[in-house]
Structure 1
Amino acid sequence: MTTADSPHRADGWTSAVRQRLGLGRLLPLGGPADGSWIAERAATEVLRDAAAGSGAALGKVRIAPADEDNAPDPAVPRPPSGLRPGPLRIEAGFSATARRPLPATADALRAALLAAAAQRLGLVVDEVDLRVTELLEEEPRPATEPPAVVHAAEPDGSAGMAAAGVPGVVSLTRVLGSAVQHSEGHVQVELATAGGHRALDVAQAVRGAVAEAVEGRPTVAVLVTAVVNRD
């Protein structure tokens, strides 16, 4: 029996809030030792931007664990409903013209998505599953996305000030709660990164800066809620 105070109920509530806010899943950045996560929406926006030069128009994108049952536990506490840090699978639909063989277009799109996931974000992606959803008469126009919504928070305390001072941090954010959350021996920091910086690299620098700044050198987890396309 599950009670209102159980971890399962709390995790379900957090997941529902996360979905309503449009964040999607909280995806692991890097591996088990990296202690970093990114909102699926933020990751998808970067992937959509990377697809623009592939000759395909990216449709619906889903990023999920490739093998959730065998994913390891992270070295630090996860954000509520954050996924364990195993390899990921990207599933996406796309539209394109038949002027170029569709397998070639799919290969170019797959390469663009894998490169962006690794080089711009730091996601570990094992599989990219693509399907053609529409044949176009003309070459697709690059997708335009509204600017990322950043729920900025003023840095407060030693942890917040340390995190905000790291290059590549656009601002701290307050989407799922306070920008900086403290528990016994642990700190969680929520923030937005600049598009010109690899999200995982920024998160790792924040973890180091916060651990140094807070007395007792706590463990640190970072949640990236937005990637903003400015330096």
Structure 2
Amino acid sequence: MKTEAWTQAVRHQLNLGRLLPLGGPDDGTWITEQAAVRALGRAAAEIPTVRMETLRIGSAPLEPVSEPAVRPPASALPPGPLRIEAAFRASLGLPLPETTDQLRSTLLNAAIERLGLATVTADLRVTDLHEGPETGVKSRTAEKAMRPPPEAAAARSSAPATGTGSMRGPIGELADVAAAVPGVARLTTVLGSRPVKVENHDDPPGRHIEVHLAVASGHHPLEVARAVRAAVASEATSDTPGPVTVAVLITETAA
């Protein structure tokens, strides 16, 4: 049973993809590649002549990175420029350069404006050409990439994981504060961990808090994360002798 649980945890982590920096070094916010890809996929779906096949986001090669102001989640990428890599099918109805330019502009604008990713390049590859719009048709690869895992679907129908069970006490209070911030759809769990993790330090005294959450529709992920960090830090500072740092990991965004 332990081996099976470990295998499922690894598969879930692989589905989440990379943990991408959101904003700049002082923003203390990351987003799962899975959540970012779905957001960009929704933007690309607005182009009727394009059908996405694959979409990945990672650090831009040879670009400088920065040290984050707060401790990042485990294995998270450092703040710095990002690169989008996408493969797509294009329609014969429009010149290919025009389609490529439109898709590149859409992906970059969505990454920057809708999410807050510091994206500088989008490398695109055409895998096939078709005669016209394929309304309602998607490749199996794209469909798989955009489909949420079973646990994500279950989370959407469940109550926010705050203030109950293992979240009682001071950690539960911090969870309640985070969940109450406008734009937070709910707190989420990654690999079965708590949505709010707290680590106290004695030498020097202080506290580090990590919050995992989903962003509600109509709210900008980076702005929501900034508000959560401020609210949680304010709450935690009241009973902490030393400095408090807060990191946010966004695991889902709404359309």
Same fold (TM over 0.5): yes
Deviations 1:64-97 (A, max 9, x none): 1014773111000010001101110000001111
- Please name the residue that 1:111 is paired with: 105
Contact 1:67 1:86 in 2 (8 A): no
1:170 and 2:182 are equivalent in the alignment: no
Q: 1:20 deviation in Å? A: 4.2
State the percentage of identical aligned residues.
Answer: 47
1:221 and 2:247 are equivalent in the alignment: yes
Could you say what the CA RMSD is over the residues aligned between the two structures, in angstroms?
A: 2.1
- Please name the residue that 1:27 is paired with: 20
Partners in 1 of 2:178 and 2:11 — Cα distance? 23
Large movers: runs of 4+ above 6 Å = none
Q: Secondary structure at the match of 2:247?
A: strand
When residues 66 and 44 of structure 1 are mapped into structure 2, their CA distance, relative to the original with a 3 A threshold, is same
Partners in 2 of 1:69 and 1:111 — Cα distance? 21
| Contiguous gaps of at least 5 residues in structure 2 | 1-5, 164-171, 201-206
Q: 1:24 deviation in Å? A: 0.4
1:76 and 2:70 are equivalent in the alignment: yes
Name the larger-Rg structure: 2
- Please name the residue that 2:168 is paired with: none
Q: Secondary structure at the match of 2:251?
A: strand
Partners in 1 of 2:75 and 2:109 — Cα distance? 27
Partners in 2 of 1:19 and 1:28 — Cα distance? 20
Instruction: Trace 1:28-177 onto structure 2 (pairs within 5 A).
Output: 28-54=21-47, 55-67=49-61, 70-141=64-135, 145-146=146-147, 149=152, 151=155, 153-156=160-163, 157-176=172-191, 177=193
Partners in 2 of 1:76 and 1:21 — Cα distance? 24
Q: 1:21 deviation in Å? A: 5.1
| Contiguous gaps of at least 5 residues in structure 1 | 1-12
Partners in 2 of 1:120 and 1:103 — Cα distance? 25
Q: 1:17 deviation in Å? A: 2.8
When the two structures are aligned, how many residues end up with a matched partner?
Answer: 215
Q: Secondary structure at the match of 1:57?
A: strand
TM-score scaled by structure 2?
0.78
1:201 and 2:223 are equivalent in the alignment: yes
TM-score scaled by structure 1?
0.86
